[in-house]
Amino acid sequence: MTFDYDLFVIGGGSGGVRAARVAAAGGAKVALAEESRLGGTCVIRGCVPKKLMVFASGYRETLGEAKDYGWDVDTSCDFDWSSFSKRLHGELDRLEGVYQKLLDNSGVKTYACRAVIEDPHTVKLTSNGTKITAKHILIATGGRPMKPSENFDESLGMVSDDIFKLDKLPKSMLIVGGGYIACEFACIMKGLGVETTIFYRGAQVLRGFDDEARGLVADQMRAGGIDIHSGANVLEMKAKDGGVWVKGSHGSEAVYDKVLFATGRLPNTDGLGLENTDVKLGRKGEILVDEYSQTGQPSIYAIGDVTDRVNLTPVAIREGMAFVETVFNGNPTPVDHELIPSAVFTQPEMGTVGWTEEEAASKGPVDIYSTSFKPMQQAFIGRDARVLMKLVVCKKTDVVLGCHIVAPAAGEMIQLAGIAVKMGATKTQFDQVCAVHPTMAEEMVTMKEPIRTIS
């Protein structure tokens, strides 16, 4: 059978674009459809704009520190959201243009519309009804933020996508949720001058991360003025006085200018036409795939957040690369989801790779090396900020099973520490590395005795 394309990609995020480009560079005839904007969640409404907001929000504290260090600065100045927002959206437009140019230069045909699967080898463009055939179809449609299904008007609350579209900053904000998105935006909003409150139904924010590390992050968030209510959820919401009146399950009642729901994400599989294939879905609507990202329909593959495996942009890109190796280069390549470094861009940041103390302890005896201290930069000016450096080490083999850092620039540090952990480095090998002094990270190679052993 003759096909219009060797590969048709549905979704123009980082994973889909990378797979399309690499396949086309290898000689395949490739097309891609994106109904929104090229760049997907990461570039347009996630990692990139959020990180730029992190940068912006950090200057308030930086100005105060500069004054304590002897600089004659005005610390009473206000943040101009409109000026920042204009520059932010200009940068997103630029990046979208870069993605388009990369696809064009690779010879990938792009369609700025939604594509729906008609059968295992056919997609239909919803813009004009055109049907296109392809030998292989790759689904890379990502995910979307969800709102809780409760007995109140959910339209009164925003999701993370809406943050970047604000005309002006609110004076107060309630964030419902306690995951990394909730905590990151809480720190951003507080840093920009917004009175920020968190309702989280669990006992401690950042569930799933190392307990000691997330405990320090929560402490530092509270010290920075973020009002965290654990064991709390929204019971009632209604419009009032130009804002949103919220009653919490713990008895609080208050009016907030804005409410942000950061209560999880769902895979974008609705309306894709998957019922016309043998593609199977999981409990959350995620596409089920094997280790090669192949679905139950042999001609259809899926990568990225739509599979709900490890929902990180670099992982989606690696999955796309492995897909091309497997399908177009004749080199079956399973996706490696082990020991992936990641960072939470709170203030301070948290970087992590490998097992948490709790995970490691459930599998066998471990030694815990951990230190928390005031870094030189803040200690000098009498600030109470603390950082954490932690290694989780297998007692039997001396292999470093996990590394957790809470500190400014922890994301930068964990990228490098992740190399050693991925290589299977031992604690002895860490100790053999000479310290870089004076730095915070030198503690990673100077902790000589475990603070506790868990059998």
Q: Is 414 annotated as a binding residue?
A: no
Q: Is 142 annotated as a binding residue?
A: no
Does residue 437 have an active-site annotation? yes
Q: Is 394 annotated as a binding residue?
A: no
Q: Is 264 annotated as a binding residue?
A: yes
* Residue in 41, 44, 54, 59 with CA at minimum distance from that of residue 91: 44
For the beta carbon of residue 396, count every other beta carbon within 10 angstroms. 9
Q: Is 162 annotated as a binding residue?
A: no
Q: Is 177 annotated as a binding residue?
A: yes
Cα angle value 452/454/455 (rounded, 5°) = 140
Q: Is 178 annotated as a binding residue?
A: yes
- Check if the beta carbon of residue 257 is closer than 8 Å to that of residue 173: yes
Q: Is 183 annotated as a binding residue?
A: yes
Distance of CA 279 to the CA centre of its chain: 26
Quick one: residue 145, left, alpha or beta (phi over 0 = left, psi -120 to 50 = alpha)? beta
Query: Which pairs count as long-range contacts for 221-226, CB under 8 Å and 24+ apart, including other chains?
Result: 221/183, 221/186, 221/187, 221/346, 221/347, 223/384, 223/385, 224/187, 224/190, 224/347, 225/190, 225/196, 226/186, 226/187, 226/190, 226/196, 226/197, 226/198
State the Cα–Cα distance between residues 198 and 205, nearest whole angstrom.
9
Q: Is 104 annotated as a binding residue?
A: no
* Residue in 319, 326, 338, 348 with CA at minimum distance from that of residue 413: 348
With residue 266 as reference, give the H or E element that holds it. Answer: strand 265-267
In the set 136, 229, 404, 437, the catalytic residue is 437
Distance of CA 249 to the CA centre of its chain: 28
> Which residues define the annotated binding site for FAD?
51
Q: Annotated catalytic sites, by residue? A: 437
> Which residues define the annotated binding site for NAD(+)?
177-184, 264, 305
> Which residues define the annotated binding site?
51, 177-184, 264, 305
